[in-house]
Chains A and B, each alone.
Chain A
Amino acid sequence: MPAPRSRFLLLMAPCILVVACGQETPKPADTPALSRPFVTPQERNGRVLVPQTVLTNLGGSPGVYVLAPDHTARFRMVRTGKSYDGRVEVLSGLAGDEVLVTGDVHDGSPIQPR
């Protein structure tokens, strides 16, 4: 199949190239990696429990920050159930083996590995 590109592009190509070279693709989070304490959820009788303090709210959704493999804090939506002295049961959203990031972070903030 012939590459479907318009003739306009052929003419504009040099201009675009020039523009594209001068412009670097902006990175979403170009901030230095943050150092934040980690917490792991506890599992008790098949219930996943997390400390009340890790629960946050992002734009109206309750959730926690999970440490992603690329060392960023990623928001994870959770649904909470009953709380047992400072710990809250997570009904859905966590598998239980995640590493949670606490403290003030954003979705996508780079986190210093331990």
Chain B
Amino acid sequence: MAEKNAKKSDLNIAGRVARYFIDSKLTILVILVAVLAGLLAILNTPREENPQIVVPAANIIVSKPGASPEEVQQLIVKPLEAILQGLNGVEHTYGMAMDSLGVVSVQFAVGQDKEDSLVKLYDRIMSNLDRMPPGTRQPLVKPVDVDDVPILTISLSSNTLGDQKLRSIANDALEHLRRIEGVSVSFIHGGRPRQINVQFDLDRMRNYGVTLLDIRRILEATNIDIPSGVLIHRNRVSTVSSGGMLKSATDVGNLVVALRAHQPVYLKNVATISDGPGEIERVYRIAYGPAFSGPRPADIENTAVTIALAKRTGTNAVTVASHVLTELDRIRGTVIPSGVTVNVTRDDGAKANDAVNTLLEHLSIAIGTVVLLLIAFLGWRAASIVTITIPLILFITLAVGMAAGQSINRITLFALILSLGLLVDDSIVVIENIYRHYAKKGADKLTSAITAVNEIGKPTNLATFTVIMAFLPMLWVTGMMGPYMGPIPFNVPVAMIVSLAIAYTVAPWAARKWLTVTGGAHAHEHAPGRLEQGYVRYFTRLIDEPAARRNFFVVVLALLTLAMLLPVVRLVDFKMLPKNNTNTFNITVDMPEGTALEETDRVVRLVGDIVRAHPQVATYESTVGEGGVIDFNGLLRGAGLKRGPHLGEVRVNLRNKHDRWNSSIDIAMGLRKPIAQLAQQTGATIKLVEDPPGPPVRATILAELYGPDYQQLLKLAKNMREQVFGKTADVVDIDDSNTADVTEYHIHVNREKAALAGVLPAQVAETLNAFLAGYDAGAVHIEQEKEPVTIRFQIPQADRVEPSDLRKVFFINPVGARVPLTDIADIIRDPAAKPILHKDQRPVVYVTGELAETSQVYAVLKMWWWLRSHDLPGNVKLKQYFMADPDTLGYAVRWDGEMRLTLDVFRDLGAAFMVAIVLIYLTLVGYYRSFATPLIVMGAIPLTLIGVLPGHAILGQYFTATSMIGVIALAGIVVRNSLLLIDFILDFRREGHGLREAVIQAGATRMRPILLTALAIILGTFIMMFDPVFGGLAVALIFGTFASTVLTLFVIPLVYYLWARREQATGTG
């Protein structure tokens, strides 16, 4: 009894845990719970393609009619930016001062609470309303919400029905679809709503002496119906309402607007009234490419209306999308007539599901290869025990993720694949040691297992914690990359802790059940293979011959130096993240401002012709007059605000990536040349926008020009565009924020003449606005109509072509005399004032560019270098900045865009690496109670570079942010290897072996398990190598593990030997 007690107190945590679980029924329960929780997590956790990045943002729109861009800048944009900059959590403010309108976009820091930020923003604006300059309208705050990005877009198209009918069908369909649980924002994109068009005939108005003002007043006073109260009679209450609501176009036409010679003048006498769609301001179409397999309509391009649906935060995109699509199928043929073609053009649910399923499949392949490896090394009995633990660990990790509110996304699964190589280690070490103990003479199944676990408990704990230490600092990566990469520092440590727990509970329990006590048949342990013999032979030479040792160190150092030189000679290139193979990309068409809708439409159709020629294109959706349905990338690029007849967009949907050979990157590359030719022919700026693999940026290369004079900045931008961007290789889609020169007709009201004639300038402005831009004078009341049917005043297109058409406009002054517009105003032709952009309270002009295939780092460096030694025309020397705020006293350029993101990410990951190393060091110092030994253990970390960098060079892989994560992970992994080596040396020495003997034996004994774990990592991560984004991580891990493992086996014991020998010498002498 006493002996047993003593033994119990001897046990460390690992031993005690193992002792408790080894023959407990609880273990079975643990397994059951883990399996159930895991299955639940796989089925129920919301799936996404990429982790959600929360960036609260809003646009504040303030209009001040009549103010020039300069005025808006001074009176609205600047003060508003200053007010908002002071708000807590605001990262950037972007201002835009246009004619009569100021827009300030405020972007909060990543990860700020959305609701809190918006409440603060409203509060801030409301409390500063008194500072608004007179004549400004109430500011409008429009939140830009990532959750409002549609996950599903359904295109309804038909050329026979027309866009108005399509829109009304879409409205009916939307009513059904948005009832589905989990759908949040939904809207219809495209199609003109029904309205009552009142098209004035200026000649007849003059004849009848009716002015716009009269008509408006009468219409507004007529089109009203209000409850007037109740009548009570014979115990009954009847409500009374009164008014003369207009219910149809005929009602509107029969409105009496004036009396002439005692005869009523009806509205239809002075205007043409029609019930139907309004003027075309935007056009939406869909067309089919060669990869489309369904039936094709007779026309190439077909008028389309898109139903867009977003999901509620936290719901599963996969289920929401599939429920909506089921409902869509149900209402086809009834709500949606059979003549309407239905295409689902965006389905983020299916995309997420596909990404997750593909990776789950990859994960199982990785598990399979690791299991094969285990069988080869450990034999099937031990291997099967470890195999059982793998899914258990993954299941629990997924369940923890679900409980923590994470989603299953690509990054989560990559984190699991990454941790796969690491998490088998703990179980392997435990099983191996139990196996070793069972092979001893007189082994008892129960106690031997506990002793075995107890023995390796401490180093295993430590090794696991060093890996966790390596990953944890990554949680503090800032910017959008933080939440994007977030699942890695969350899931890997969780998986590691769980693997430790399983190794101490389930592994010994299973070992006791299935491993057999061989009792003295030392088949496994004391049969050093050829590998070990070779190792011992070579290693002994290194120890005994100083010359060989020196040569060895020289070779290692030379390799390290050569590896470090690879990035310098550009055999390894840096890049933030490579592009991904996707199913869709965007082409934006930006014609010079002032281009008519029809001309833009012509160019967009030409773009369509180029796109349609590609065999992998399934469908493409063209939008003219505004952007397409917004996506996450567009949202952060600020595409949502863009609108105007000179803008167009073509969303290209490719054949599913599983069914095609070429990646979307190659397809986009192939299209770039014809598109660039078209751009040159038509004078349009056409950009191919591919979805970024990571966080989106406004442009890959973004040069922000700052300086005291805005006109000079615009000139600089032009020079920069031509002299710098245009002359740098591989820079494509070059653009700047300057707008084309547009002529403007300014109706200058002569104040004196107007006053004498009795017409107020405001009357002039209002009338002209209604005639030219159109004016909504209320709505007719039609029941059953899902959208308001507005009454729109305008003069017909044919009557507003040239400034001379304005001569027909007249006013009636208080004495009843007619005053023609031309009597009181002059029409002046000027160039229109250009908008002024701001960023963080500084006027800025942007020059942007994309990279066709190479990394932006080198293009930017090249331009940076060029600008350092050259002046721009006009002897302007630009001061260049990367991170710091620019000095706006002189002219300066700051390189933002992906360059900034890259610098930030590598800075953060570098810092995380440093912190990880310090943490590992401190942990090791605590463990060894020595300052020098941890340094030897950590000597393995630089050795990884000998593998990582040449690995990237050999495979032609970019050194990306994921490669950097690989390097950080490697620090944890290799420390674990050398730690086990040093631990064994210390153990051997404690057992009384000599230093030389201990050092040699440690390597030989630990070689097998070290190689096994290294191979597990290499094979486990192998599948990741084919992923364009995470390939870097895989390359870093595979080559880094390989090189460092091989070298660690020699370098670490050798360095330890030399150090210990010196210690002994100084100690004794």
Chain A residues numbered 1-45 whose CB sits less than 8 Å from any CB in chain B = 1-9, 12-13, 16, 25-26, 28-29
Name the one of B290, B299, B358, B581 contacting A4, with C-beta atoms under 8 angstroms.
B581
Contact with B along A56-77 (1 / 0, CB 8 A): 0111111000000000001111
B798: A residues at CB distance < 8 A: 80-83, 89
Nearest-Cβ distance from residue B447 to partner chain A, whole angstroms: 46
B612: A residues at CB distance < 8 A: 28
Chain B residues numbered 759-817 whose CB sits less than 8 Å from any CB in chain A = 797-799, 801
Nearest-Cβ distance from residue B905 to partner chain A, whole angstroms: 20
A16→B656 CA distance, assembly (Å): 12
Q: How many residues of A contact B (CB 8 A)?
A: 40
Chain B residues numbered 527-585 whose CB sits less than 8 Å from any CB in chain A = 578, 580-581
A83→B820 CA distance, assembly (Å): 25
- Report whether A92 and B599 are in contact in the complex, using a CB–CB cutoff of 8 Å: yes
B296: A residues at CB distance < 8 A: 26, 28
Nearest-Cβ distance from residue B6 to partner chain A, whole angstroms: 55
- Report whether A16 and B659 are in contact in the complex, using a CB–CB cutoff of 8 Å: yes
B283 interface residue, CB < 8 Å from A? Answer: yes
A99 interface residue, CB < 8 Å from B? Answer: no
B601 interface residue, CB < 8 Å from A? Answer: yes
Judged by DSSP, the binding face of B is mixed
Chain A residue with minimal CB distance to B658?
A8
A58: B residues at CB distance < 8 A: 159, 299, 303
B389 interface residue, CB < 8 Å from A? Answer: no
A62→B792 CA distance, assembly (Å): 20
A26→B158 CA distance, assembly (Å): 20
- Report whether B602 and A76 are in contact in the complex, using a CB–CB cutoff of 8 Å: yes
A93: B residues at CB distance < 8 A: 596, 598-599, 601-602
A107: B residues at CB distance < 8 A: 159, 299-301
Beyond A1-B958, A77-B283, is A60–B192 a contact (Cβ under 8 Å)? yes
- Report whether A4 and B663 are in contact in the complex, using a CB–CB cutoff of 8 Å: yes
Nearest-Cβ distance from residue B236 to partner chain A, whole angstroms: 50
B159: A residues at CB distance < 8 A: 58-59, 107
A7: B residues at CB distance < 8 A: 362, 365, 1023, 1026
A111→B575 CA distance, assembly (Å): 50
Nearest-Cβ distance from residue A59 to partner chain B, whole angstroms: 3
- Report whether B596 and A92 are in contact in the complex, using a CB–CB cutoff of 8 Å: yes
Beyond A7-B1026, A9-B661, A82-B798, is A1–B163 a contact (Cβ under 8 Å)? no
A4: B residues at CB distance < 8 A: 578, 580-581, 663, 665, 1026-1028, 1031
A12: B residues at CB distance < 8 A: 658
Chain B residue with minimal CB distance to A8?
B658
B818 interface residue, CB < 8 Å from A? Answer: no
- Report whether B597 and A92 are in contact in the complex, using a CB–CB cutoff of 8 Å: yes
B1031: A residues at CB distance < 8 A: 2, 4
Beyond A1-B578, A16-B659, A60-B277, is A79–B597 a contact (Cβ under 8 Å)? yes
A25→B166 CA distance, assembly (Å): 30
Chain A residue with minimal CB distance to B666?
A3
A35→B581 CA distance, assembly (Å): 44
A57: B residues at CB distance < 8 A: 162
- Report whether A2 and B303 are in contact in the complex, using a CB–CB cutoff of 8 Å: no
Name the one of B283, B578, B580, B598 contacting A78, with C-beta atoms under 8 angstroms.
B598
A83→B599 CA distance, assembly (Å): 21
* CB contacts between A and B, total, < 8 Å: 135
B164 interface residue, CB < 8 Å from A? Answer: yes
- Report whether B1026 and A28 are in contact in the complex, using a CB–CB cutoff of 8 Å: no
Name the one of A8, A28, A80 contacting B797, with C-beta atoms under 8 angstroms.
A80
A78: B residues at CB distance < 8 A: 598
- Report whether B298 and A106 are in contact in the complex, using a CB–CB cutoff of 8 Å: yes
A7→B363 CA distance, assembly (Å): 12
A26→B160 CA distance, assembly (Å): 23
Chain A residue with minimal CB distance to B162?
A60
B291: A residues at CB distance < 8 A: 25
- Report whether B303 and A60 are in contact in the complex, using a CB–CB cutoff of 8 Å: yes
- Report whether A60 and B1026 are in contact in the complex, using a CB–CB cutoff of 8 Å: no
B163: A residues at CB distance < 8 A: 59-61
B280 interface residue, CB < 8 Å from A? Answer: yes
A79→B280 CA distance, assembly (Å): 9
B277: A residues at CB distance < 8 A: 60
B955 interface residue, CB < 8 Å from A? Answer: yes
Nearest-Cβ distance from residue A104 to partner chain B, whole angstroms: 11
Contact with A along B271-300 (1 / 0, CB 8 A): 000000100100101001011000010111
A109→B298 CA distance, assembly (Å): 8
- Report whether A9 and B658 are in contact in the complex, using a CB–CB cutoff of 8 Å: yes
- Report whether A77 and B601 are in contact in the complex, using a CB–CB cutoff of 8 Å: yes
A80→B1023 CA distance, assembly (Å): 60
- Report whether B299 and A106 are in contact in the complex, using a CB–CB cutoff of 8 Å: yes
A60: B residues at CB distance < 8 A: 162-164, 166, 191-192, 277, 280, 303
- Report whether B956 and A2 are in contact in the complex, using a CB–CB cutoff of 8 Å: yes
A106→B287 CA distance, assembly (Å): 13
A51 interface residue, CB < 8 Å from B? Answer: no
- Report whether B663 and A92 are in contact in the complex, using a CB–CB cutoff of 8 Å: no
- Report whether B801 and A25 are in contact in the complex, using a CB–CB cutoff of 8 Å: no
Nearest-Cβ distance from residue B578 to partner chain A, whole angstroms: 7
- Report whether B658 and A6 are in contact in the complex, using a CB–CB cutoff of 8 Å: yes
B161 interface residue, CB < 8 Å from A? Answer: yes
Chain A residue with minimal CB distance to B956?
A1
Chain B residues numbered 357-375 whose CB sits less than 8 Å from any CB in chain A = 358, 361-362, 365
A76→B285 CA distance, assembly (Å): 13
A3: B residues at CB distance < 8 A: 663
Contact with A along B952-983 (1 / 0, CB 8 A): 00011110000000000000000000000000
Nearest-Cβ distance from residue B344 to partner chain A, whole angstroms: 20
Chain B residues numbered 570-619 whose CB sits less than 8 Å from any CB in chain A = 578, 580-581, 596-599, 601-602, 605, 612, 615
B302 interface residue, CB < 8 Å from A? Answer: yes
- Report whether A81 and B1027 are in contact in the complex, using a CB–CB cutoff of 8 Å: no
A96 interface residue, CB < 8 Å from B? Answer: no
A63→B851 CA distance, assembly (Å): 38
- Which of A4, A62, A83 gathers most chain B CB within 10 Å? A4
- Report whether A1 and B957 are in contact in the complex, using a CB–CB cutoff of 8 Å: yes
- Report whether B303 and A81 are in contact in the complex, using a CB–CB cutoff of 8 Å: no
- Which of B163, B602, B1028 gathers most chain A CB within 10 Å? B602
- Which of A29, A61, A76 gathers most chain B CB within 10 Å? A61
Beyond A5-B663, A7-B365, A8-B361, is A59–B302 a contact (Cβ under 8 Å)? yes
A3→B599 CA distance, assembly (Å): 39
- Report whether B290 and A8 are in contact in the complex, using a CB–CB cutoff of 8 Å: no
Name the one of A2, A8, A74 contacting B358, with C-beta atoms under 8 angstroms.
A8
B663: A residues at CB distance < 8 A: 3-5
Nearest-Cβ distance from residue B428 to partner chain A, whole angstroms: 26
Nearest-Cβ distance from residue A68 to partner chain B, whole angstroms: 8
A61: B residues at CB distance < 8 A: 163, 280, 283, 303
A81: B residues at CB distance < 8 A: 797-798, 801
A61→B158 CA distance, assembly (Å): 12
B365: A residues at CB distance < 8 A: 7
Q: Rank and list the top 7 A-B pairs by shortest CB-CB distance, nearest first.
A: A59-B303, A93-B598, A92-B596, A108-B300, A60-B163, A4-B1028, A107-B299
B contacts, CB < 8 Å to A: 157-164, 166, 191-192, 277, 280, 283, 285, 288, 290-291, 296, 298-303, 358, 361-362, 365, 578, 580-581, 596-599, 601-602, 605, 612, 615, 657-659, 661, 663, 665, 797-799, 801, 955-958, 1023, 1025-1028, 1031
* 8 further A-B pairs in the complex, CB-CB below 8 A; given A5-B661, A59-B158, A109-B298: A5-B581, A7-B1026, A28-B296, A59-B285, A89-B798, A92-B596, A107-B300, A108-B300
A contacts, CB < 8 Å to B: 1-9, 12-13, 16, 25-26, 28-29, 57-62, 74-83, 89, 91-93, 106-109
* Chain A to chain B contacts (Cβ below 8 Å), 24 pairs: A1-B957, A4-B578, A6-B1027, A28-B296, A28-B300, A58-B159, A58-B303, A59-B157, A59-B163, A59-B303, A60-B280, A61-B283, A75-B301, A78-B598, A79-B280, A79-B596, A79-B597, A81-B798, A81-B801, A82-B801, A91-B801, A92-B599, A107-B300, A109-B298
